[in-house]
Amino acid sequence: MKLQRLVLFLLLLAGFLVSCSPGHLGSNVIAFLRDGHLWTIDPNGANAFDTVAQDTAVIGYAWSPNHQLLAFRTLDSNFARTAEAQHIASNPITGQVGDLATSINTIGVDGGSPIPVQFSSSDVRFSQPIWNTTGTRLLYRQTPKTPPSNPESVPWLVSQNDQPAGIAIKELPGSYAIPSLSYVAQQQMALGDSDKGVFSSTLDGKTVHYLLHTPLPDHPLPATLERLLWQPAHQDVHFLYAVPAPSQTTTNTGPLTVQLLLGTLDGQNTILTTCTCTQFAWSPDGNSIIYSTGSNYTIFRLADHATFTITGVNGSVPYWSPDSQFLLLDGLHTLVLVQIVTKQQTLLLNDGATSENYTTEENLPTTSALLQPVANSIWAADSRHFLFMTRNRLLWQNTALHPGKGLYTAAVDNNGHPQDPPAVVDTGNDSQPGWTYQDANTSFLY
């Protein structure tokens, strides 16, 4: 009889827990921030779920590669009471904020008790954590209130995603660049750049191998160009980086002519192109790169070195579809869809402003600027659906959106043609919407 009662109790408990769940498995849900809470919601607007609701505000999060976990930052309680915390600057397009006094945590898509990967302190600041491609480790930067001027002296830490703070935290060797995380699951390496040369390191920081034994010329570069990026989907054989073009000297402002090079683990280098670019990144399939020069965004194909250039809005955020067939340029005034094979460009969303109102000024950031990649992708995993925040862009292909400002989803067919009007998902005070994991090697820095 006691056994039967226990079984009945467990069944009732299971039913109660199911009834309290948000009603989804996490495979296709959208996440966003609203009023300091982390929410998830179905693409059709159903099953809104307050995944993280704490006394201190959530200021950023990142989807894991398997879409089952979220890493998030919450403000330190003491810092949250300061004047600085009341005026936190954010990127006007992504909504992301920089390094702040926060904790770092992980949580399942269906909520529960977060695991604190790093406890907060008002004297220590952390960047938004970056997932490795297997979803087992988190990479993040730790800085004091006043960051050091030399980027190589900024500690980069690696934590296991399921271990409480103080357990299994490792430090990588000093690097001018944000370490690039590899793709081969068996080796899990980080790629960095120091005053001793280019190196690869295991994620515990114990085994370091120098690929180039001399410093790269004129490094560190301005922060958006100081990058060494593993080539996606190509077995960690090649990496992309920039060096100043011959006779060019580095400056912190104005155009800087650089060569984009494809390096190998055995020290061989191939010049891909020369440009006065300010940002560069890979496509998800590793077969193309994208780089920006002001309001121009150029796609460069490795197979034949063919290029084509898109004229967008200065400062736009490029988002590759997971299958690399499409590119979205999310700007302050416009949202542009690019079909890569046909080179077709479609203006999806705009605010009615003319190009004369667009910001054209662009200065390179300092070498020590604390930048970070975009934390989440606005594309769905199927590469045929995406989301967008309207902000002040309320004209969809020159037709007014209904019901106006909000979070929307849209669909394209295999040829990149928009399908049906966008569907509203939520009209709250939302920010930082993300649908899937964003590979840092395919993202610009902000």
Look up the pTM and report it.
Answer: 0.92
Residue entry with tokens 């667009």: 358
DSSP collapsed to 3 states, 47-67: CCEEEECCCCCEEEEEECCCC
Based on its alpha-carbon atoms, the radius of gyration of the chain, rounded to whole angstroms, reads 22
Residue entry with tokens 């269906």: 110
Query: What is the band of 230 on the pLDDT scale with cuts at 50, 70, 90?
Result: very high
Q: How far apart are CA 390 and CA 393, in angstroms?
A: 5
C-alpha dihedral over 148, 152, 154, 158, to 10 degrees? 180
Q: Where along the chain do its domains lie?
A: 1-171
pLDDT digits (tens, 9 = 90+) for 260-308: 999 998 888 999 999 999 999 999 999 999 999 989 999 999 999 999 9
Mean pLDDT over 235-264 rounds to 85
Number of other residues whose CB lies within 10 A of the CB of residue 307: 14
Determine the pLDDT at residue 361. 62
- Residue 98 in this model has a pLDDT that exceeds 70: yes
Amino acid at 205: G
pLDDT digits (tens, 9 = 90+) for 103-126: 999 999 999 999 999 999 999 999
Residue entry with tokens 């736009």: 316
Q: How far apart are CA 159 and CA 139, in angstroms?
A: 7
Determine the pLDDT at residue 6. 38
pLDDT digits (tens, 9 = 90+) for 325-379: 999 999 999 999 999 999 999 999 999 987 755 665 678 999 999 999 999 999 9
